[in-house]
Amino acid sequence: MIINTNITSQSAAARLADSSASMAKSLSRLSSGSKIVDPSDDAGGLAVASRMEAKIRRTEAARSNVNNALSLTQAQDGYLSKVYKALNRMSELAIFANDVTKADTDRSLYDLEFRQLASYISSVAEKDFNGVSLFTSSPLAVNVEAEGQTFEMTGIQLDSATYASVIGADLSTTAAATSALELVKTAITQLANDRAMLGSYMTRLNMSAEQLTFSKENLVASVSRIQDADIAEESTQFARYNILVQSGTAMLAQANSMPQTVLRLLQ
Query: Closest Cα to residue 177, out of 263, 102, 231, 264?
Result: 102
> What is the distance, to the nearest Å, from the Cα of residue 216 to the centroid of all Cα atoms in its chain?
9
Please tell me the least confidently modeled range out of 28-42, 157-171, 186-200: 28-42
Dump pLDDT digits (tens) for 11-67. 777 887 887 777 877 787 777 777 777 777 778 888 888 899 999 999 999 999 999
User: What pLDDT score was predicted for residue 265?
Assistant: 67
Dump pLDDT digits (tens) for 77-121. 999 999 999 999 999 999 999 888 888 888 899 999 999 999 999
User: What pLDDT score was predicted for residue 100?
Assistant: 85
The number of CA neighbours under 13 Å toward the Cβ of 145 is 6
* Helical packing angle, 7-32 and 231-257, nearest 10°: 160
Beta strands in the chain (DSSP E): 128-129, 132-133, 140-143, 150-153
Distance CA 19, CA 245 (A): 6
User: What pLDDT score was predicted for residue 20?
Assistant: 78
User: What pLDDT score was predicted for residue 176?
Assistant: 92
Distance CA 42, CA 143 (A): 34
Q: Is 184 left (phi over 0), alpha (psi -120 to 50) or beta?
A: alpha
23 vs 123, which has greater pLDDT? 123
For 5, phi then psi, to 5°, come to -130, 115
Mean pLDDT of 133-141: 89
